[in-house]
Each structure stands twice: as structure tokens, then as C-alpha cells.
Amino acid sequence: MTHTGTVPRSLNLVGGEWRASNDDGWMEVRDPADHRSVVGEVPAMGAHDVAEVYDAAVDGAARWAATSPIARGRTLLRAAQLLRERAEPIAAELTREMGKTLAEARGEVGKSADFFEYCGGLARASQGEQLADERPGVRAWTIREPLGVVLAICPWNDPLLTPARKVAPALIAGNAVILKPASYTPLVSLHLARALADAGLPSGVLSTVTGRAAAVSGPLLEHEALRAVSFTGSNEVGAQISHALAGRRAKILSELGGKNAAIVLEDAELERAADTIATAAFAQAGQRCTAISRVVVERAVADSLIALLTERAGALVLGPGLAPDTTMGPLVSPEQQRSVSSFIERAISGGVDAVAGGRTPQSDHLAHGCFVEPTVLREVTAEMEVWREEIFGPVLAVLAVADLDEAINVVNDSPYGLSASIFTTRLNAAMRFADEAEVGQVAINLPTSGWDVHMPFGGYKQSGSGLKEQGTDGVAFYTRTKTVALAT
């Protein structure tokens, strides 16, 4: 990191060196709690920079593939240790550029280290399997090989965790990785690159690319050395990436939008359900792909549940993520603030009742930040925009239904299928929901988020490509399988 005036500048890792862009262009990173404040600058890279990144990655991929899995694992374990040792400054940087509370940021750093510890441990797991062969004197087995150069395109909402989720399995599999963080939140990804470099990762095995999408997206996706893309973000950008890779020798794993629902049955423990749903809806200001944004409640307890959710939304304290009393931070940018606010405004204009929140705070200490009050909406119908479209903010829509049959139908009547939960004390209802919910993750008396690093993660329908991240499934994506037969 270097400084110009009072604004620190962070450099990209390219071929083992920390570099600015070739044309010395820079991008500002602003504090969403006070958008007047610039918290850092990163290089605005271009096509020539990307070409040099690929040159380094091709060399790094060959070197890393020839490194034993156990040596790779030790590097990842050292990186995990460094992330934990540096947790406080990394968490503070994450909060300054993204806005989540310091407690949330600390949790993200810890979970990111978990990914490297888990994948580092896989170095001693099976690297293939023995196969039966009916020919006498013949032995057969499989080998898992790295793909080569892979590209990780990451979102702004979990700017350390999502890169860790992609980079760790790609590295343990033996690939070189090019990491493209989101333009709103690039700083913390460079901390991740620093930890890996300091852990002894060879030059070229990881490179970072910061830059405006218009300048770097084409060069990143069009290079002939690219063998896989792992993308987390919007459905629109995911479709563009799929189109760009059509007919190419490159795999794609995409984790896209979600409109996650929670069913609350009449027999549920309502206080527990309300606590869990409010946390899942409003943590990180609702900016999680797995956040609960829809509540489907049996009519007999709808008023009671709505009252509890309203109480919990009203108890949240908005403010800068670094302030000790803050329990909900800002949205990531003015653009996101405007988008979320417009969803709320259209819903209220359409007859929806905002029983909590629904406004943009105007108090002096929040006026220059990207804040939206935690919002609970009732009188919602299943045809409304606020019920069907991903908002990605602290907005919870509640719909009352007659019974479990109707609740399951309402949950499944969505273009998305990432995650869903049910709150009930009836085992048969819980198991039926687990069988019939058309989502990639089902939670019972739990939030829709919180999946551990060894648990396969990914959605159905328009929530992704259908491939899983995390666990051994996540590592398998970054490999190809070779079958070997030997006559003895």
C-alpha cells in the first residue's frame, strides 16, 4: 500500500509483484457510511494489464500444477493463519469499504480463513480412485488434474468470503487464479492476495485485477488461456458471461440471485422464529444472496408474527459499521440505496402497508450515508414486484396463507431457488418441506444463511448454474478427470 496525499493507494499482485496499472489510472473507493469520504484508491487496469496478468498466470499454472498437493496445502494453511493474525485491520478495511458492522466483518474474516484451512486439509485426501477392470492383469484408476488458468469474478457484498470460497478450492486443485473483485469493494481482496503471497504462493499463481468492467471484462473473458470462470453476482451479468463463453473450452460456475422464503407454521415457536428471521433479513443490511426476504405465515399467527418482526426491526440501530453501538450498517452505494428505496416506494404506492421502516433516514449523522431503514411490509400479494424480484436490501415482505400446502406452493412459485426455511415443531411438516422445496438449501428452524465451508452450496432454477461451491463438490469444479489403465 502506498499513500498519495491523505488517500492510501493499494496495488495489484501481478506475477509476484505489486503494481499499478500501465497507464497509472486509479479508481476511488468510498465509504458507504459517508459517501463524501474516499477510503482508498486502486489501479484502474486495462487490456494491456490483463494480457500481462494472463502471461504470468500461464507460467504460474504450470509451476503450481507440478507442486505436490501437500505443499499446496501447507501454503493455504499458512495463509489461513495470516488472515487470522491480521483479522482486525482486515475487518476494519472491510467495514470501511462495504459498510457492514465490524462484528459482521470479523465473522467474515474468520470464515474466509476457514476456507483455506478446509482446502489446505484436503491436500491429504484422495486425489482419485481405483476402478475395477474386467481384463485380467489390468489395473485402472482416475487422476484429478487442474484445469490451468481460472477466473474468479466476485461481488461486493462479501468481498473477502466469496473470493476465499473460490480461490481456496481452485488453488488446492492446482490452478492459477485471476481474481477480479467488485469495483465497490476491491481493497479487502488485496489483503487476501497479500496473505497468500506472504504464505509463499509462487509468482503468477494468484493475480488480482481491479478496474472498470467496460475496460477489463472483455480482455478477461476472451483470453485463450482461460479454462474456467466462477462468478457470483446478478443474473444479468451471469447471462452475459455465459454468452461470452458459449462454444469456448471454458467451464462456468455461477451463483446468481435469490428470493429466499421462510415458512412459519401455526405451531412454531414464534419468538424464536421472529428472532431468526429478523437477523437473516436485516444482517448486513439485507445484502446477502441467502437473506430471508419473504415470509409465508399461517394466517392464524400472522398478526402476532408481524408484530414481533416489527418490534425487532425497530430495535435495530443504524450507523457506521465501525461505531460500537451500530447493529445495521448502510447499503454499499448510493445506487444500491436508490434501487432499494424505489422498490419500497413502488410497493407502498401499490397498497402495501409498511409496518416498520420504509424510509431513508434524514438525521444528520446518517444523511450522507447509504442508509435505508429496516422495513417490514404486509398486505403483500404473490403477484407483486416486491414479492417476486430480488431487492438485495433490508426489506421483508410478509404473506399470510391458509396452510402448509399453500405455503409450499407459494415458496416454489418463484424463478429463484437458492434457499428456504421452515419454522415448525412438527417433524412431518419439516421433512415434507425438505422434500418438496425447490431450492438448493433447506433450513429447519434456522436462517437461510450460515452454510459451513464443507457443505455444498448453490441454488436451483435462476439462482445459478446448478453446480455447487464449497465442500468437495467445490473443488471438483476446478479439476478434470483422467482415467488410467495399466497392464501388469
Cross-strand pairs, 396: 376
Whether 458 contacts 467, CB under 8 Å: yes
Number of H helices, E strands in the chain: 15, 23
119 annotated active-site:
no
Whether 130 contacts 138, CB under 8 Å: no
273: enclosing H helix or E strand: helix 270-282
Which of the 8 DSSP states describes residue 400?
E
Phi-psi region of 458 (alpha: psi -120 to 50; beta: other; left: phi over 0): left
The span from the CA of 421 to the CA of 168, in Å, is 28
Q: Which ranges in 66-186 belong to alpha helices (H)?
A: 69-85, 87-98, 102-121, 161-172
Cross-strand pairs, 28: 41
> Which residue is listed with cell 483470453?
223
The span from the CA of 168 to the CA of 175, in Å, is 10
The span from the CA of 288 to the CA of 394, in Å, is 10
Question: Coil, helix or strand for 196?
Answer: helix
Whether 100 contacts 93, CB under 8 Å: no
Kindly name the residue from 119, 154, 289, 370 that is annotated as catalytic: 289
Whether 372 contacts 394, CB under 8 Å: yes
Question: Coil, helix or strand for 29?
Answer: strand
How does 138-164 read in b/e, with b if 16+ C-beta sit within 10 Å?
A: eeeeeebbbbbbbbbbbbbbbbbbbbb
Helix/strand/coil percentages in the chain, nearest 5: 40, 25, 35
From 267, 227, 266, 265, select the one nearest 245 (Cα to Cα): 227
Which cell numbers in the block locate residue 436?
Answer: 418438496
CB proximity list for 241: less than 8 A, separation 6 or greater = 153, 221, 229, 231, 252, 254
Whether 184 contacts 330, CB under 8 Å: no
| Burial tier of 256 (Cβ tally within 10 Å: 0-12, 13-18, 19+) | buried
Instruction: Give catalytic residues, as residue numbers.
Output: 289
